[in-house]
Amino acid sequence: MATTAVAPGQPTTKIGKAATEIDERLIVAGPLRRSLNKVFPDHWSFLLGEIALYSFVILLLSGTYLTFFFDASMSETVYQGAYAPLRGVEMSQAYESTLALSFDVRGGLLIRQIHHWAALLFVASIVVHLVRIFFTGAFRKPRETNWMIGVVLLVLALLMGVTGYSMPDDLLSGTGLRIISAILLSIPVIGTWAHWAVFDGDYVGDAIIGRFYIVHVLILPAIILALIVVHLLLLIKQKHTQFPGPGRTEHNVVGNRLFPAFAGKATALFFIVFGLCAALGGLVQINPIWLWGPYNPAQVSAGSQPDWYIGFLDGSTRLFPAWDINLPGDYTIPALFWPTVVVAGAMFTVLALYPQLERKLTGDTASHHLLQRPRDVPVRTSVGVMALTFYGVLWMSGGNDLIADKFDISLNAMTWVGRIGMIVVPPIAYMATYRICLGLQRHDREVLEHGIETGVIRRLPSGEFIEVHQPLGPVDEHGHGQLSYGGAPVPKKMNQVGGARRAIKGFFKPIEQVSDVELGSRREQRGLAAAEAERDQLTRSGRPSEGGRPSDGGRPQDPRD
């Protein structure tokens, strides 16, 4: 011992020594351990936000590549590149450089398409993530701020998309740009001033592509990046929500530690998302601007659509009637103002303020870290489905000319279907969802009270046939279960309570011993008899104050059966 100068606990390996050197300077061991030990709850739906994050990383990587080849200039040039059907056509530098990066840069088309697919995926995954947050009540106190940041991120992602797909200056996006110009003009009082400020004059001018470019590659990404950092810091500070279940309370998080399990899966998901974007980028053609042609204000194509995430606004614009409002003094509020600025503004404002609205309406001011099952909050779930249906009708109407064409329906009829549908269908969806929620709730309580349907039919001495039910826990003298509903999924099949041994592994031939599995399942206390002790844990959430009606579930009722 005396011969070595190493103090007890000092590392002897090279890496260990290097790590000690670093920690002596930066003192990171403590924070690093705290990060590695951070527990993340394990549920597939918690990965949806990660998809959005990884799409954004892919966008940054591929977008940076594209900036080296793209020239955001509107000055005219004559194309002389590789694509013969456009050779000799006058076009802007922006369009020409996009063609060049598609056809004259080795692998450029792949990167461009990856970028565009990742953009579509970015917005789509934000929407799916938002829907998950909404329906499980994850936005409730203390997470209202993070919800609001999320909504802002969604809006910024839309702006990012619009500025991005407008940049190639092709005939499709140019048509969209024309509509953006008209929307700006439609704003009451300041419309023309706003247009002059954005376009640097009358439409189309020669500034807009360059301005969109700097907004797209510098301003918006910087804001989005900053907001994502805040979004994640808040998540880490407030810890992730979790679904109710055995041992899960408002005051803990049950799941995997960051290292290694969670980090491994997160890294895996990044590669899978990147792989998907790359595969789509190569295998499915997106925005083939060489087919659209360069922008010319006198040209247009049938079936001009925006990218999917703007489709709902295109739809609302198609459906809104021609109601210009003429004010005294010869002022006009154009009809275009309502379905674009007002509808979009109202939708995102309501969305951002929804947590506050719900707090006001329900009077629920407590902090919540346990999620809710959508069925347990039928009003919110139905409102959400109603909003999604409304959005869906608008979205469909954004492509109603293509639907009319492909399915041989009258275009005018499609417009009317949308106009009536956006008013009639959402309330129907509300009512249907509400009933479904109540039905699912009742079934949960039915199973808690009477047990799982086993499918075993028994004939009573009186001749009556009854189905045998497997109670989930202790029963009272009438045979009614005494468990109360705690917000967690109620097992409804015998297999979910260990009615069957787990499957033997191996695809072509078993690779485990049957007896091992049997022993293992006994050891793990699977199976009915073994689970006796855990029964009262099965559905309890640990929050008696809310979720379900504890007085209901196990209450003895008049003997009927």
Smallest gap from Cβ 442 to other proteins, in A, equals 27
Quick one: 330 or 464, whose CB is closer to other proteins?
Answer: 330
Quick one: 285 or 362, whose CB is closer to other proteins? 285
Nearer to other proteins, 186 or 482 (CB): 186
**Letter string b/e over residues 95-128, b meaning 16 or more CB atoms within 10 A of that residue's CB:** bbbbbbbbeebeebbebbbbbbbbbbbbbbbbbe
Name the residue nearer to other proteins (CB basis): 476 or 512: 512
Of 17, 18, 67, 275, which one interacts with other proteins (CB under 8 A)? Answer: 275
Helix H or strand E segment including 106: none
With 0-12 / 13-18 / 19 or more C-beta atoms within 10 angstroms meaning exposed / middle / buried, residue 501 is middle
Q: Which of residues 508-537 bind other proteins (CB under 8 A)?
A: 511-512
Shortest Å, Cβ 513 to other proteins: 9
Determine which residue in the list 19, 61, 74, 128 makes contact with other proteins, applying CB under 8 A.
Answer: 128
Scan residues 6-45 and list those touching other proteins (CB under 8 A). 7-10, 33-34, 37-39, 42-45
Number of Cβ atoms within 10 Å of the Cβ of 415: 17
* CA dihedral over 525, 530, 532, 538, signed as positive or negative: positive
Residue 186 lies near other proteins (rule: CB under 8 A): yes
Measured from the CB of residue 430, what is the shortest distance to other proteins in angstroms? 23
What's the closest the beta carbon of residue 556 comes to other proteins, in angstroms?
Answer: 34
Q: With beta carbons less than 8 A apart as the criterion, state whether 468 and 456 touch.
A: yes
Angle, in degrees to the nearest 10, between helices 93-103 and 108-136: 100
For residue 469, the minimal CB distance to other proteins (Å) is 28
Q: Is the peptide bond before 426 cis (omega within 30 degrees of 0)?
A: no
Rounded alpha-carbon distances, angstroms, from residue 391 to 357, 397, 402: 20, 10, 18
How far is it, in rounded angstroms, from Cα 368 to Cα 375?
17
Partners of 92 in beta bridges: 76
- Candidates 2-10, 228-236, 440-448, 544-552: pick the segment binding other proteins (CB under 8 A): 2-10
Could you give the CA distance from residue 518 to residue 62 in angstroms, rounded to a whole number?
52
Choice between 447 and 488, CB closer to other proteins: 488
151-170 positions binding other proteins, by CB under 8 A = none
* Helix or strand holding residue 341 (H, E): none
By CB under 8 A, is residue 489 in contact with other proteins?
no
CA gyration radius for the chain?
Answer: 30
Q: Which of residues 208-227 bind other proteins (CB under 8 A)?
A: none
Kindly identify the residues of this chain, within the stretch 535-554, that bind other proteins according to CB under 8 A.
none
Is 286 an interacting residue with respect to other proteins (CB under 8 A)?
yes
Stretch that binds other proteins, among 64-72, 147-155, 277-285, 426-434 (CB under 8 A): 277-285
Do 488 and 518 form a contact (C-beta atoms < 8 A)?
no
Which one, 107 or 439, has the nearer CB to other proteins?
Answer: 107
Q: Residue 65: how many CB atoms within 10 A of its CB?
A: 18
- Comparison of 168 and 191: residue with beta carbon closer to other proteins: 191
Please name every residue paired with 472 in a beta bridge, in sequence order, or none if there are none.
none
Residues 6+ apart with CB under 8 A from 355: 139, 140, 141, 143, 144, 147, 148
Q: Which is nearer to other proteins, 290 or 485 (CB)?
A: 290
Q: Contact 177/392 with Cβ under 8 angstroms?
A: no
239 three-class SS:
coil
| Coil, helix or strand at residue 62 | helix
Judged by CB under 8 A, the residue of 148, 185, 215, 230 near other proteins is 185
Indicate whether 191 belongs to the interface with other proteins (CB under 8 A).
Answer: yes
Nearer to other proteins, 332 or 349 (CB): 332
Q: Which is nearer to other proteins, 283 or 457 (CB)?
A: 283
Which CB, 192 or 495, lies closer to other proteins? 192
- Backbone region of residue 8 per phi and psi (left: phi > 0; alpha: psi in -120 to 50; beta: other values): beta
Closest approach, Cβ 482 to other proteins, in A, equals 26
- In the list 66, 157, 160, 273, the residue contacting other proteins (rule: CB under 8 A) is 273
What's the min distance (Å) between Cβ of 133 and other proteins?
15
Interaction pattern, residues 325-354, with other proteins; x per rule: CB under 8 A: -x--xxxxxxxx--x---------------
Alpha-carbon distance of 247 to 231, in angstroms, equals 28
Please report how close the Cβ of residue 480 comes to other proteins at its closest, in angstroms.
Answer: 32
Instruction: Please report whether residue 172 would count as binding other proteins according to CB under 8 A.
Output: yes
* Burial tier of 80 (Cβ tally within 10 Å: 0-12, 13-18, 19+): exposed
Between 42 and 536, CB nearer to other proteins: 42
Q: Binding to other proteins (CB under 8 A): which residues in 400-419?
A: 400-402, 404-405, 408-413, 415
89 makes contact with other proteins (CB under 8 A)? yes
CB atoms within 10 A of CB 275: 10
Instruction: Give, in order, the Cα–Cα distances in Å from 320 to each of 191, 224, 338, 404.
Output: 20, 32, 8, 18
Least Å from the CB of residue 165 to other proteins:
8
Q: Does 181 participate in binding other proteins (rule CB under 8 A)?
A: yes
Number of residues that bind other proteins (CB under 8 A): 156
Shortest reach from residue 89's CB to other proteins, in Å: 5
Q: Which is nearer to other proteins, 36 or 232 (CB)?
A: 36
Per-residue tokens: 319: 């459906």
Burial of 40 (0-12, 13-18, 19+ CB in 10 A): buried
Q: What mask, x for binding other proteins by CB under 8 A, covers residues 306 to 325?
A: xxx--x--x--xxxxxxxx-
Task: CB nearer to other proteins: give 300 or 528.
Answer: 300
Q: Give me the least distance between CB of 481 and other proteins, in Å please.
A: 27
